């Protein structure tokens, strides 16, 4: 083996890393996408409610909830991607 070459990604560990990487990246991307869609839809719907009813509390509340869903899903997605890459932090 040449100097500096890491042999840790061979055999069973390499196969496990490859499989978890694909699953982690796919899952992470899906979580982030869904969160972004929910967040964007909530912002748009919240603005519509505010503009048509004049009741800012309802629209702003909806935007707050969907922003929370977006933020949470971004965190879960990043965690899934990190797990797929075998990152510990």
- Alpha-carbon span 27 to 34, nearest angstrom: 11
Whether 46 and 68 have beta carbons less than 8 Å apart is answered as: no
Q: How far is CA 80 from the centre of its chain?
A: 8
Q: Where are the domains of the chain?
A: 19-84
Q: Is the pLDDT of residue 1 over 70?
A: no
Q: Is the pLDDT of residue 26 over 80?
A: yes
Reported as a single tens digit per residue, the pLDDT across 63-89 is 999 999 999 999 999 999 888 888 876
pLDDT of 37: 95
Structure letter (DSSP) for residue 10 = S
Closest to 31 measured CA to CA, from 50, 15, 4, 84: 84
Q: Is the pLDDT of residue 30 over 70?
A: yes
Q: What is the pTM of this model?
A: 0.71
Of 4-8, 28-32, 49-53, where does mean pLDDT reach its minimum?
A: 4-8
Which residues are CB-contacts of 75 (< 8 A; sequence separation ≥ 6)?
Answer: none
């Amino acid at each position: 083996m040449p100097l500096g070459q890491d042999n840790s990604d061979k055999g069973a560990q390499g196969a496990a890393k490859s499989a978890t990487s694909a699953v982690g990246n796919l899952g992470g991307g899906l979580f982030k996408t869904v969160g972004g869609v929910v967040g964007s839809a909530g912002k748009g719907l919240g603005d519509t409610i505010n503009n048509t009813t004049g009741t800012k509390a309802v629209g702003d509340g909806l935007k707050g909830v969907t922003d929370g869903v977006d933020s949470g899903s971004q965190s879960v997605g990043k965690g899934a991607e990190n797990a797929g890459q075998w990152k510990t932090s």
